[in-house]
């Protein structure tokens, strides 16, 4: 025991009080004596006690009055009645009124200690039960308070929140979710997710998360369409106490305004690009007429100036064409006519066309083909992939560098690598190189002209053909772009 059990011994006989003190103190109890009922009440007013040994017949105030007082004011304190043989019936009546037990004088030590021990254990168990109950009440209060706070926060969120269990039943949602789903009726939890959502891709994602197939990812982000709204859904697993997946949590954000803004931007770029291309082409044509001497002879300085102007016009036309291509990719209209395509032939033609430019820059350009199969693709767009990647590799390789193009079959996919020994890309820049208008910052590349759209176009074309592209690079050692494209399976060709 961390604290001694306090026993109040109430008896008008000093010999009984002293005897109880000797026996109980030796067993680790703390004994407080009282010579009558009034003294006992006075003691309880000043300090708490854990048990009372109570004589019935005492002067000033008897045991029955103390029992009545204690039953009203301290009902949790066990009382053991001390009685003689002549008052056993009275002791039994006292037990009916709330006393725990009784012992008769003269005491048998073993029986006396057994009764006291049982009463002490009862008191201890009751105190522990009361403590647990109080803790439980506090925990329930804290839980309800936290639950109330969580509910308030979720209900006040502008984003939709949806929590599902393993049966894909929605067990928690907020008003924003119903607003984004354009559902006006009230729905009570739990309900199956298909009652408010019919997007198969998101439902498939939630099933994938619950199956543990996305364990390496903290969350999965995707875009869905519900009526007039475009939503970004971010889904993650909900784990139980043992770490197992018990459901999913999905937060939905309304990106309709951003989609509309992006569409307006694309339309604006298309309009501007179309409006600029025609006059620029006309200006270039007039420059060519002047340079060819069709309007009379020109001096050398005039030719130089017109030549520089033509190069600037060409750069602007390249930018306009790239902008229009990016706009088509974003609209999903860039890759339209797909046919069985021989990638090996396209690589050979592209390398052959660029061989002269590479030689002029002092770069060795070569290719290697192995175990190739046809792919279902738009040949013109596939050629653009190689044009961009090989041109970049040659431009960013120093005099004496090497550019190697390899293509080989890998089961269901074809792997194409464009490897150079050029300036390389810093690790912090690699995640940005496929962004529109982004160009690698390097002292050796400042004079290289470009729009910063080439790799964005390449990535768009690769993904439009259900492929992937990634890059590995080391500064001043070179860069390797790796493209995977699905091949036509033999069964499909037969």
Domain end, chosen from 304, 330, 356, is at 330
Query: Is 219 part of a structural domain of the chain?
Result: yes
Domain end, chosen from 330, 357, 387, is at 330
92 and 38 within one domain: yes
pLDDT at position 333 over 50: yes
Query: Is 207 part of a structural domain of the chain?
Result: yes
Q: How confident is the model at residue 472 (pLDDT cuts 50, 70, 90)?
A: very high
Residue 443's beta-bridge partner residues? none
Q: What whole-number distance in Å separates Cα of residue 391 and Cα of residue 455?
A: 11
DSSP state of 230: E
Query: Is 291 part of a structural domain of the chain?
Result: yes
250 and 265 within one domain: no
Q: What is the mean pLDDT of residues 178-196?
A: 84
34 and 114 within one domain: yes
Q: What is the mean pLDDT of residues 458-482?
A: 89
Average pLDDT, the chain: 82
Rg for the chain, CA atoms, rounded = 44
pLDDT at position 443 over 70: no
β-strand 169-173 against 191-192: which pairing, if any? antiparallel
What was the pLDDT predicted at 422?
Answer: 87
322 and 373 within one domain: no
Question: How many angstroms from the chain centroid is the CA of residue 213?
Answer: 15
pLDDT tens readout for residues 82-127: 877 666 777 778 888 888 888 888 878 888 888 888 888 888 888 8
β-strand 51-55 against 6-10: which pairing, if any? parallel
Packing angle of the helix pair 343-360, 379-395 (nearest 10 deg):
30
Domain end, chosen from 213, 237, 254, is at 254
Q: What is the mean pLDDT of residues 234-247?
A: 82
What was the pLDDT predicted at 491?
Answer: 47
Maximum CA extent, the chain: 148
Among residues 354, 273, 387, 282, which one has the least CA distance to residue 319?
Answer: 273
Among residues 201, 199, 194, which one has the least CA distance to residue 164?
Answer: 194
Q: What angle do CA 343, 361, 452 make, to 5 degrees?
A: 65
Q: Give every strand in the sheet of 191-192, ordered side by side.
A: 191-192, 169-173, 160-165, 245-254, 229-239, 220-226
In this structure, the number of other CB atoms found within 10 A of the CB of residue 11 comes to 25
Domain count, the chain: 4
Residue 368's beta-bridge partner residues? 406
Listed in order, strand segments (DSSP E) in 148-203 are 160-165, 169-173, 191-192
Residue 54's beta-bridge partner residues? 10, 81
pLDDT at position 403 over 70: yes
Q: How confident is the model at residue 441 (pLDDT cuts 50, 70, 90)?
A: low
172 and 211 within one domain: yes
Q: What is the mean pLDDT of residues 197-224?
A: 79
Q: What whole-number distance in Å separates Cα of residue 136 and Cα of residue 146?
A: 15
What was the pLDDT predicted at 348?
Answer: 93
Q: What is the mean pLDDT of residues 328-342?
A: 70
* Inter-residue contact 290 to 299 (CB < 8 Å): no
323 and 408 within one domain: no
H-run or E-run covering 272: helix 256-291
DSSP state of 106: S
263 and 235 within one domain: no
CATH number of the CATH domain containing 64:
3.40.50.2300
Query: Is 356 part of a structural domain of the chain?
Result: yes
Q: What whole-number distance in Å separates Cα of residue 297 and Cα of residue 301?
A: 12
User: Domain range holding 221?
Assistant: 157-254
CATH number of the CATH domain containing 164:
3.30.450.20
177 and 119 within one domain: no
Q: What whole-number distance in Å separates Cα of residue 312 and Cα of residue 306?
A: 10
pLDDT at position 349 over 60: yes
DSSP state of 105: S
pLDDT at position 334 over 70: no
Among residues 410, 479, 470, which one has the least CA distance to residue 445?
Answer: 479
β-strand 169-173 against 413-420: which pairing, if any? unpaired
306 and 347 within one domain: no
DSSP state of 432: G
CA 458 to each of CA 180, 452, 464: distance values in angstroms, whole numbers, following the listed order:
35, 11, 10
pLDDT tens readout for residues 291-330: 787 777 888 888 888 888 888 887 777 777 777 777 666 6
489 and 390 within one domain: yes
Q: How confident is the model at residue 493 (pLDDT cuts 50, 70, 90)?
A: very low
Among residues 357, 284, 272, 287, which one has the least CA distance to residue 319?
Answer: 272
Q: What is the mean pLDDT of residues 256-265?
A: 78
Query: Is 483 part of a structural domain of the chain?
Result: yes
Q: What is the mean pLDDT of residues 208-214?
A: 76
In this structure, the number of other CB atoms found within 10 A of the CB of residue 413 comes to 18
CATH number of the CATH domain containing 461:
3.30.565.10
β-strand 30-34 against 245-254: which pairing, if any? unpaired
Q: What is the mean pLDDT of residues 213-225?
A: 71
Query: Is 225 part of a structural domain of the chain?
Result: yes
β-strand 30-34 against 6-10: which pairing, if any? parallel
Query: Is 218 part of a structural domain of the chain?
Result: yes
H-run or E-run covering 33: strand 30-34
Q: What is the mean pLDDT of residues 358-377?
A: 90
* Inter-residue contact 226 to 181 (CB < 8 Å): yes
Query: Is 146 part of a structural domain of the chain?
Result: no
Q: What whole-number distance in Å separates Cα of residue 476 and Cα of residue 444?
A: 10
Q: What are phi and psi of 43, to 5 degrees?
A: -60, -45
Question: How many angstroms from the chain centroid is the CA of residue 274?
Answer: 43
Among residues 442, 361, 433, which one has the least CA distance to residue 402?
Answer: 361
Alpha helices (H) in 51-157, listed in sequence order? 63-73, 88-96, 109-156
86 and 103 within one domain: yes
What was the pLDDT predicted at 490?
Answer: 63
Q: How confident is the model at residue 488 (pLDDT cuts 50, 70, 90)?
A: confident
In angstroms, the first-to-last Cα distance of the chain is: 87
Can you spell out the DSSP letters for 454-477? Answer: HHHHHHHHHHHTT-EEEEEEETTT
296 and 250 within one domain: no
Report cis status (omega within 30 of 0) of the bond before 458.
no
Asked which of 262-271, 277-286, 359-368, 383-392 is least confident by mean pLDDT, the reply is 262-271
């Amino acid at each position: 025991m961390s604290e001694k059990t306090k026993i109040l011994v109430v008896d008008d006989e000093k010999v009984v009080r002293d005897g109880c003190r000797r026996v109980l103190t030796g067993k680790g109890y703390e004994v407080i004596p009282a010579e009558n009922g009034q003294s006992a009440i006075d003691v309880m007013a000043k300090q708490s006690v854990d048990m009372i040994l109570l004589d019935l017949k005492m002067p000033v105030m008897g045991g029955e009055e103390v029992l009545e007082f204690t039953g009203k004011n301290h009902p949790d304190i066990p009382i053991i009645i001390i009685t003689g043989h002549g008052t056993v019936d009275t002791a039994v009546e006292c037990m009916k009124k709330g006393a725990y037990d009784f012992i008769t004088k003269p005491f048998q030590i073993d029986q006396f200690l057994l009764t006291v021990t049982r009463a002490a254990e009862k008191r201890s168990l009751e105190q522990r039960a009361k403590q647990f109950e109080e803790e439980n009440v506090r925990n329930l209060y804290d839980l309800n308070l936290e639950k109330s706070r969580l509910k308030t926060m979720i209900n006040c969120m502008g984003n939709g929140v949806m929590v599902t269990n393993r049966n894909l039943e929605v067990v928690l949602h907020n008003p924003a979710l119903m607003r984004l789903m354009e559902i006006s009726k009230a729905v009570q939890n739990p309900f199956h997710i298909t009652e408010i959502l019919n997007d198969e891709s998101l439902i498939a994602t939630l099933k994938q998360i619950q199956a543990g197939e996305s364990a390496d990812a903290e969350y999965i982000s995707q875009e869905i369409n519900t009526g007039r709204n475009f939503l970004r859904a971010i889904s993650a697993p909900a784990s139980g106490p043992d770490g197992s997946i018990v459901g999913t949590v999905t937060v939905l954000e309304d990106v309709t305004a951003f989609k509309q803004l992006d569409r307006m931007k694309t339309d604006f770029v298309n309009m501007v690009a179309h409006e600029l291309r025609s006059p620029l082409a006309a200006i270039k044509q007039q420059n060519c007429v002047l340079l060819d001497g069709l309007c009379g002879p020109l001096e050398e300085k005039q030719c130089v100036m017109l030549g520089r102007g033509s190069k600037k016009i060409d750069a602007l036309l390249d930018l306009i064409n790239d902008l229009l291509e990016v706009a088509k990719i974003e609209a999903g209209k860039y890759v339209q006519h797909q046919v069985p395509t021989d990638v090996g032939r396209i690589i050979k033609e592209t390398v052959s066309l660029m061989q002269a430019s590479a030689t002029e820059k002092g770069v060795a350009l070569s290719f290697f083909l192995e175990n190739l199969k046809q792919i279902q693709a738009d040949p013109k767009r596939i050629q653009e992939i190689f044009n961009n990647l090989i041109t970049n590799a040659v431009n960013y390789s120093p005099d004496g560098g090497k550019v190697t193009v390899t293509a080989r079959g890998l089961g269901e996919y074809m792997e194409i690598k464009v490897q150079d020994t050029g300036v390389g890309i810093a690790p912090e820049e690699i995640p940005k190189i496929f962004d529109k208008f982004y160009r690698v910052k390097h002292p050796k590349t400042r004079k290289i002209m470009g729009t910063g759209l080439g790799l964005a176009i390449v990535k768009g074309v690769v993904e439009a053909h259900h492929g992937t592209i990634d890059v590995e690079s080391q500064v001043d050692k070179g860069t390797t772009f790796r493209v995977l494209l699905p091949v036509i399976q033999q069964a499909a060709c037969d």
